[in-house]
Structure 1
Amino acid sequence: MTESVPFSEVCIVGAGPSGLACALGLAARNVPFTIIDALPEGHNDSRSVLMHASALETLELTHPKLCEALVTAGVTSKSVPQVNKKGDVVFEVRISELAPHTKYPFCLLLSQHKVEACMREHLPQSVQWGTRLAAIAEAETANGAGLGYELTFTSGEKLRARYVVGADGGKSLVRGFAGIRYSDPHTGEEAVPSPRDLSYVVSDVEFAEPLPSSIARDTLQLVAGEGILTAPLLPSEAAFYGSHPVKNCFRLYVGIPDGNPPSAPDAAYLQPILQARGPGSEVGVAMVPQIVRVLHSARFRTRVALVDRYWHRSRAGTGYILLAGDAAHKHGPAGGQGLNLGVCDGCELAEAIATHRAQPAEAETDEVFEAYSTRRRDIAQQVIAMVDRMTESELGAGDGWGPYIRQRLVRLAAKVPAVNAMLAWQVSGMAYRKRNQ
């Protein structure tokens, strides 16, 4: 029966940034693939809004026109200032200092749904939407010869593939089938929901005109120690929610250290938080941005997790499960690292699959996947550690003198040009660039 099941060399499960990046990389190398997603169509959550130089440079290797389209569609933030509750700059990371090293010396502020839409426009084939994975089994012939993996969907349809890419998020079914452990890198315990998980609200809002001087119109901005982040978006971003263009369209991130926010927070919930913790809140009401309306909002809880390895081989040695994006790692939203880490995972995985596929059967072919796993896992560990430090800075010093002193030292050190350049190098992901880029 297995021989009658349709075959695809690669099946990518998940059409988010990491899955789409892998698909684009495979298409550029003429590797046949199928990409599926359980959603009816497209991304509909309001989470990431930030692309760094690392992701743009990696995508540019195979799709330079895509990067041009992304930059045109977004706002280029050349620095990341942290301000106090008066709106005064405490310190800033000057991303523009990367200009000698990259053509993308900025943070690109662009909603994830627009990033994904641009990526799909440059993909030579369509995503198979509404295709939910139910099970994966090792495929064999009647005489027991391995045939890779057989995927079964909730519709009852089946597909056989040699390579199965798990880009299906933190609750990855693909990872679960492979038996790959997903644990907290700090404790070694399984990453499961916990009261310690951070809650935050992500909203797209329209602020009243005129904007107070306490909020930046052209840069990402953090309120130091208060867990408030604002990111200006192009007026056209509002069209995604069926609205006319909005002049003061902003992405608003709000950390909720205590309590449980509503599932879709409205202005009545968000505005008092801005009045208490937002930019200008220590000066007076006139200096705090006022929400005219909430275009979209959602709450999220996040935890830290990392897989033991990024790949698994079938018993027969003819099939491979490979992980990318949140299926392999998870961390908080600080620094906007998730989308970028996932895109770079996907691009490098496409290269690894193409290399593996081109090698002769007698070669020690698994080395390419082991190298991918080792490199990407090491980078994820470093990013998780960096995000932990950034979260401490964004949400407050915490208990005791230790965190407070660390924050003060970072802010003083950031005034030194060499240190500031190092921070930009790390936040942008350029520190993890492959040597051949």
Structure 2
Amino acid sequence: MSGKYDLILFEYFEKTNGCIVLVSEDQLFKRMLSSTIFKIIGTKRDCLFAFEEIQSGLRKVQSLQKKSVDCILFIERWVNGNTTTETIVTLKRLMPDLKIIVLVGETKRENIAYFYEIGVNNVISKPASMNNIIEKLAFTIKPQGKLSEYMGIGKRCLAAGKLMEAMQIADKILKLKPESPAGLMLKGDIHLAQNERDKALESYHRAHDSSKIYLEPIKKLVGVYEGVDDDEALKYMKKLDKLSPLNAYRKTEIGKLHVRRDQMEEAEVYFDQAIETITKEAMGLISSVANNISEAVSGTPAMAEKYLTKVLDAKANHLGPDDIVLFNRLGIALRGQGKWKEAIDNYAMALRISPNDEGLHYNMGMAYSDGGEKRMAAKCFENALVINPVFYRGSENVSMNVGTLFSEMRDFEKALPCFESALKVNPDNATAKRKLAALRTVIE
């Protein structure tokens, strides 16, 4: 064990008796987190509790909180096909001191900004390294530096109503770091608690001027201006929307302010954006549910076709590269019923979305092969090879399918490396050995 971050974690688990609650279906991440805690950090305590369902995880968090056990919740962005956004918002409202780390599969700036806005302590983008997990955990447990330590004390004083002590801490922070946004925010909160609205506004404005992309001062400015000065409230709501554009509720509130001002065109723009944001969220949920259903009924192609078709029809105007997996599943379901022509139409639609996906070209070729259209199948395989000349490598079945078709079309130069690839994956493949020997004889 080495480094200050490792030490922070070791003390958290061994001295503070801290725990981690993980809510995730990702077994790979679970193993990585377990190895990080028990092998790298070296704790001997039973301090990791993993669940695949939200409710089970939340019951564990509540149980630990009742026992005054400090815990950190790791939670996926999506669990069992459901977004966890509302769960996180509710948790932060009921347990404001609960530390939450969200696990995501994407790193778009607006997504991460939104998570921090709703109160998460950190975001980990998967796949994550052990070093990344250790660093994020350490910063969640113990934000670095004297300033962070003072902020913790100041917030506790403010929450306890000790306003004079809180103001002394805020002054210490601003002496340590003049115009510190965090220090100015604390000072503004204290003034607000003392009903000194103008002084609070001055502090929040200074905090915003000191860091234009820090969300918290802008949120405070919106809160103070709302219902008092709609012009200023609208201005800062729009700034928030630009920095964190995934908040559909805020877009709706901006639209409502425009309605109050009889600016219907501007209101319509934000109402449309609110619906679009919610729709994207819903479409992500639909895709996740569809994946679960299609996996469950994969052995029944007709049922898989039914549900996948429903989903693709529902998403007709919102289809994107992330939906290619749905097209591939539907193609397999159609081919499983002998509907090779319908499978080709399905892949053609998918290729309009993602024309450079070699897997789609290969799958379309297999559908043509099912229908005996070998020349068209070969053309599809050739399209896949143009995109990725070695796309078949690593898969015995794909290598055999491509090699067999090219061999039947007497394109021996293309067939030969495919059978060689199949043998690399499985040296005992007798069919590949026989076909390879026959090809070499012909070529020689």
TM-score of the aligned structures, taking structure 2 as reference length = 0.23
- Per residue, is there more strand in 1 or in 2? 1
TM-score of the aligned structures, taking structure 1 as reference length = 0.23
* Larger RCO (CA under 8 A, 6+ residues apart): 1
Rg larger in structure = 2
- Per residue, is there more helix in 1 or in 2? 2
